[in-house]
Structure 1
Amino acid sequence: MTLVYIVAGEASGDVLGARLIAAMRARAGGIEVAGIGGARMAEQGVASLFPMQDLALMGLAEVLPKIVRLRHRLEQTVADIAAKRPDIVVTIDSPDFTLRLLRRIAPLGMRRVHYVAPQVWAWRQGRVRHFPGLWDRLLCLLPFEPDFFAPHGLNPVFVGHPVLESGADAGNAARFRARFDLAETTRPLILMPGSRRTETSRLMPIFGATVERLRSRFPDLMPVLAAAPALAGELRAEAATWTHPPLIVTDVAERYDAFAASAAALTKSGTSTLELALAGVPMAVTYRVNPISAFVARRLVKVKHAAMINLLAGEELVPELLQQSCTPERLATEIASLLGDTSLADAQRAGFAAALATLAIPGASTPSNAAAERVLELL
């Protein structure tokens, strides 16, 4: 039997880990898996060393009170790997924990793979000098990442982006309308304020005011809030105070059904732009952080665009309204343009197809299959 040790620190990594396990087993017999993961990896038979949620912390304010426990979890993971002596260790994203783990287990002499390249190409690029020796192979999700990491001897390989197998383009509009008893003339507007409390606390009041402005011009518009399950309760309570309360979806399949029925979307920057693009939903992108963080970011960020779909397109395919531009007036104007001018929406959709094509690996059926092949090569 071959033992593969996989460490995922958050929900997206859990999904990647589960797909990777299934793809490896489809190609090779005798694969056993241990490590740290969530519900999706548990479905593949992984008994997590400890709850994955212990690692799913974001931001200094969340991490500092848990620093002792995190240090204990790191020691516990190192000890478990040393005891089990797996044939290979695969760490997935969550760089604050996984990169420390890779460094700690380097003396054990086992093969190491890191899945999802740290986005140091976007800001603080000097951090890349700390990476040599951490892994034998780096699995990259974005087509331009190997060119950045290769000169540093980091063995990068592009395996495609998992959004391509997410199912975001397979939603059922009729099912969504029936679920919420929506008339055919009703136009859903997707609202995606993020999955972190620091994001939603800044964007939710602005989104509510934006919807109020839009409804005065488009009375057939129905806001649909895509809420992260962990924040659903508090977002539901806040949204209930809006002049026009939204429908709220938390289930992934239901969210994709909403995509299929929607006329447009207002989303925070990030991977959500790729999901919406895959579903063909025209959008405006926004984000707001505290002024000090924005001041620092403007001096450290090395990329021209905040939206991932714009990075892939190499142009501002969708409007980005960040910081001072993140106002209800500006956001409502951009969404109104998409709703009132079908040529703008069609131009976005045409650009989506070209940009998303860069995320696929020629000849590989899925990104998970490409990743599995690269891991198995090392075995």
Structure 2
Amino acid sequence: MSEESRPIRIGIVAGEASGDILGAGLMEALKERIPDVQFEGIAGPRMLELGATTLFPMERLSVMGLVEPLKRLPELLKIRGSLRRHFIDNPPDLFIGIDSPDFTLTLEAALKAAGIRTVHYVSPSVWAWRQGRIKKISRAVDHMLTLLPFEASFYRENQVPVTFVGHPLADDIPLQIDVSAARKELGFESDDRVIALLPGSRGGEVRMLGPLFLQTARWCYQRHSNIKFVLPAANQQRFTEIEEQLKGYSELPVTLLEEQSRLAVAAADCVLIASGTATLETMLLKKPMVVTYKMGRLTSMIVARMLHTPWVSLPNLLAQKELVPEILQNDAIPENLGAAIMQYFEDPLLGDHLEREFYELHQQLRRNASKRAAEAVQNLLEKKIDPSSKEL
């Protein structure tokens, strides 16, 4: 087969469900541009439906926390070594690592050293902490695709070629939300005051923050008995854990849901939320929020020394100013959290101002991320991007 007629081969690795969603969107957009393109590496169910070939099951990479990755380290190293040998022996036209930076960046560095062009999709939080990792990223990546604009600015400042593609959530969530429909679906009246409680998706977060969120709900309810609460659990296991916690708060009118966080937030007047990616979805749903987090004292001291940003929540990071209150660590007590929540009810103009700010940020992120990512990949394939250039 001649060089001109052979299909384009792209190596691709997604290590978790969110990466599978991003990978599927990118694959679909690339197939529109390059119909005979082939993908192989590690793929999830959505990517497999689009024709990707997976060399290992994606769930073998889906590890979280500190202990589990250490237990699985020999297997993870074996998988990465096998992928490295496979792609060096059968070089693809380009390799794409999707998120999972601890796994993919080392693989990308080995492939780039072997002459294979590499793209990394979703920046690690190198702009926030452990900024020394930028040297490793520069050695590993020919082109970085970022979901957030301030990430792209950081890479340009550090001479790493980058394209800001926008965030898929901003494409998925409409600019205007049907609040009435969400309230009706959950059985709330139009004049109900509704607070959504989102203590996090991990077991450790629910154990640490769940009681704090319920204590805060009680504090609010004791002062305003017309308030109702909605609490979406991330999965069945979290549902069971939160259901047990709620036994001590039988007086609270709490609607407990399994999953359905987007519906819960859409129906709410404001949200008490753990710092994390859920704050981005809450912002895109245009909801006032109070952001909080607590962690162990030693972990907190280590993170504080490594953190290079004045804020932790994505709305504030995106705006580069404090739009929403962040109440963290020792300050995170029911009185402080409850008072911050009540401000939104006592001063409706605060919510109106936030809605306008969030709308503008939504528009900034709404870029058709998969299409823009595919365009950057195609340009690199066609060598329209000089690997030494700063941006597409």
Normalised by the length of structure 1, the TM-score is: 0.90
Whole-angstrom CA distance in 2 between matches of 1:68 and 1:322: 36
> What's the CA shift for 1:91?
0.5
Q: Which amino acid aligns with 1:225?
A: L
| Residues 8, 36 of structure 1: 8 Å contact kept | yes
Q: Which amino acid aligns with 1:371?
A: A
Secondary structure of the residue aligned to 1:157 is: strand
Structure 2 unaligned segments of length 5 or more: list them. 1-6, 382-392
Whole-angstrom CA distance in 2 between matches of 1:237 and 1:51: 33
Write the deviation string for residues 174-222 of structure 1: whole angstroms up to 9, x where unpaired.
4444444333333332222222223222111111111111222333333
2:254 corresponds to which residue?
A: 246
| Residues 284, 358 of structure 2: 8 Å contact kept | yes
Residues 228, 72 of structure 1: alpha-carbon distance in 2 compared, 3 angstrom cutoff: farther
Write the deviation string for residues 156-179 of structure 1: whole angstroms up to 9, x where unpaired.
221122221132656554444444
Whole-angstrom CA distance in 1 between matches of 2:98 and 2:78: 19
Moved beyond 4 Å, runs of 4+: 168-172
Secondary structure of the residue aligned to 1:163 is: helix
> What's the CA shift for 1:69?
1.8
Residues 171, 78 of structure 1: alpha-carbon distance in 2 compared, 3 angstrom cutoff: farther
Residues 298, 241 of structure 1: alpha-carbon distance in 2 compared, 3 angstrom cutoff: same
Residues 313, 151 of structure 1: alpha-carbon distance in 2 compared, 3 angstrom cutoff: closer
2:18 aligned residue (12, 29, 48)? 12
Q: Which amino acid aligns with 2:128?
A: A
> What's the CA shift for 1:231?
4.2
Secondary structure of the residue aligned to 2:140 is: coil
Q: Which amino acid aligns with 1:356?
A: H
Write the deviation string for residues 34-72 of structure 1: whole angstroms up to 9, x where unpaired.
222323323323343333232222332222211112112
1:377 aligned residue (348, 371, 379)? 379
1:224 corresponds to which residue?
A: 230
Q: Which amino acid aligns with 2:131?
A: Q
2:390 corresponds to which residue?
A: none
1:124 corresponds to which residue?
A: 130
Structure 1 window deviating more from structure 2 (91-100 vs 164-173): it is: 164-173
| Residues 172, 257 of structure 1: 8 Å contact kept | no
2:41 paired with 1:35: yes
| Residues 4, 32 of structure 1: 8 Å contact kept | yes
1:100 corresponds to which residue?
A: 106
Whole-angstrom CA distance in 1 between matches of 2:160 and 2:257: 40
Whole-angstrom CA distance in 2 between matches of 1:80 and 1:245: 56
2:172 aligned residue (151, 166, 172)? 166
| Residues 168, 276 of structure 1: 8 Å contact kept | no
2:160 corresponds to which residue?
A: 154
Q: Which amino acid aligns with 2:13?
A: V
| Residues 203, 288 of structure 1: 8 Å contact kept | yes
1:309 aligned residue (308, 315, 328)? 315
Write the deviation string for residues 125-177 of structure 1: whole angstroms up to 9, x where unpaired.
12212222212111122212233223443212211222211326565544444
Whole-angstrom CA distance in 1 between matches of 2:345 and 2:219: 13
| Residues 7, 36 of structure 1: 8 Å contact kept | yes
> What's the CA shift for 1:317?
0.5
| Residues 231, 264 of structure 2: 8 Å contact kept | no
Whole-angstrom CA distance in 1 between matches of 2:10 and 2:257: 35
2:304 aligned residue (298, 303, 309)? 298
1:285 corresponds to which residue?
A: 291
Q: Which amino acid aligns with 1:318?
A: V
| Residues 7, 91 of structure 1: 8 Å contact kept | yes
| Residues 312, 356 of structure 1: 8 Å contact kept | no
| Residues 173, 258 of structure 1: 8 Å contact kept | no
Whole-angstrom CA distance in 2 between matches of 1:235 and 1:122: 32
Secondary structure of the residue aligned to 1:29 is: coil
Q: Which amino acid aligns with 1:301?
A: L
Whole-angstrom CA distance in 2 between matches of 1:60 and 1:168: 36
Q: Which amino acid aligns with 2:372?
A: A
Q: Which amino acid aligns with 2:375?
A: E
1:276 corresponds to which residue?
A: 282
1:140 corresponds to which residue?
A: 146
Larger Rg: 2
2:112 paired with 1:110: no
Secondary structure of the residue aligned to 1:338 is: helix
1:255 corresponds to which residue?
A: 261
Counterparts of 1:155-234 in structure 2, within 5 Å, are 155-167=161-173, 172-229=178-235, 231-234=237-240
Whole-angstrom CA distance in 1 between matches of 2:207 and 2:313: 20
1:340 aligned residue (323, 341, 346)? 346
Report how many aligned residue pairs link the two structures: 373
Normalised by the length of structure 2, the TM-score is: 0.87
Residues 346, 230 of structure 1: alpha-carbon distance in 2 compared, 3 angstrom cutoff: same
1:76 aligned residue (66, 74, 82)? 82
Structure 1 window deviating more from structure 2 (142-151 vs 7-16): it is: 142-151
Structure 1 window deviating more from structure 2 (77-86 vs 95-104): it is: 77-86
Secondary structure of the residue aligned to 1:131 is: helix
2:369 paired with 1:367: yes
Secondary structure of the residue aligned to 2:204 is: helix
Whole-angstrom CA distance in 1 between matches of 2:212 and 2:82: 43
Structure 1 window deviating more from structure 2 (153-162 vs 324-333): it is: 153-162
Residues 43, 248 of structure 1: alpha-carbon distance in 2 compared, 3 angstrom cutoff: farther
Secondary structure of the residue aligned to 1:132 is: helix
Q: Which amino acid aligns with 1:267?
A: I
Secondary structure of the residue aligned to 2:127 is: coil
2:384 corresponds to which residue?
A: none
